[in-house]
A and B are shown apart, each in its own frame.
Chain A
């Protein structure tokens, strides 16, 4: 069973976002890495998160070992933040569509940061942080969605199964 994201949440996930995905290793250690794209299924019940296989090794290993997964996305200009969790995730194939999605998400994120005054060299830094040459996809069906925008409502449950 999964939640169905709202149209507004789906639109937010297509915006210029900072994205991080977390899991917990078999040894109990939490781990986190940057994600660099998210695709929402047509029925708005499944997400595919794109990340670098090399930078995300710990998260991928944890998910492969049966960890739950969490995705946190935040828009830098507003700090509006969502956290979406599921008890499991699976690997999904990557191809041209996923590479295009990642490139679009990273470019949108770069534009957002430029608008906030982050200076020259941003593309170079993001290219180092968010390489598109070893993309890996993790698919999950969110079971709970939180508003995590900083403030008194942080942690409020927006939807759950």
Chain B
């Protein structure tokens, strides 16, 4: 199911930490928590990297990432979505 980044804005308020998956150059996965995912525009989100040394290192070496965000509304049923990012700075979103 294709959904827009705009529609995920309520997921990005930090009520429930997001999770960022990246890959090292040798294919080793890494997962880190992110307190907030910032909406930039319809095709971009931004993450700060104060404690993200491995995530940053991985993205610089292999610029693919997936961010899992959770709908903070307690009654949500389609409560988790993933934002994926490729070298071309576009994001795709999907329900998981």
Q: Do A and B come from one complex?
A: yes
Partner of A68, one of B27, B82, B96: B27
**Contact call A72/B79, Cβ cutoff below 8 A:** no
Contacts of B96 in A (CB 8 A): 33, 55, 58
Interface residue tally of chain B, by bracket?
A: 20 to 34
Q: Tell whether A118 pairs with B64 under 8 Å between CB atoms, given A67-B27, A68-B28, A151-B51.
A: no
Task: List CB contacts (< 8 Å) of B14-53 with chain A.
Answer: 17, 19-23, 27-33, 51, 53
**Contact call A118/B74, Cβ cutoff below 8 A:** yes
Least CB distance from B52 to A in Å reads: 9
Q: Tell whether A32 pairs with B64 under 8 Å between CB atoms, given A23-B29, A72-B33, A151-B51.
A: no
Most buried by B among A70, A81, A120: A70
**Contact call B19/A32, Cβ cutoff below 8 A:** yes
CA distance A150 to B32 in the complex (A): 10
**Contact call B74/A69, Cβ cutoff below 8 A:** no
A1 within 8 A of B: no
Contacts of A67 in B (CB 8 A): 27, 29
Least CB distance from A121 to B in Å reads: 3
**Contact call B51/A154, Cβ cutoff below 8 A:** yes
Q: Tell whether A22 pairs with B75 under 8 Å between CB atoms, given A129-B70, A154-B53.
A: no
Contacts of A55 in B (CB 8 A): 80, 96
**Contact call A29/B84, Cβ cutoff below 8 A:** yes
Contacts of A34 in B (CB 8 A): 68, 80
Q: Tell whether A85 pairs with B66 under 8 Å between CB atoms, given A33-B96, A72-B19, A128-B77.
A: no
Contacts of B93 in A (CB 8 A): none
A125 within 8 A of B: yes
Contacts of B54 in A (CB 8 A): 155
Contacts of B31 in A (CB 8 A): 20-22, 32, 70-72, 83
**Contact call A150/B65, Cβ cutoff below 8 A:** no
B76 within 8 A of A: yes
Closest A residue to B77 by beta carbon equals A128
A24 within 8 A of B: yes
Least CB distance from A134 to B in Å reads: 14
A-B contact pairs, 18 of them (CB 8 A): A22-B30, A22-B31, A24-B28, A28-B62, A28-B64, A29-B64, A69-B29, A70-B29, A71-B31, A74-B33, A118-B74, A120-B74, A122-B74, A125-B74, A125-B76, A125-B79, A129-B80, A151-B51
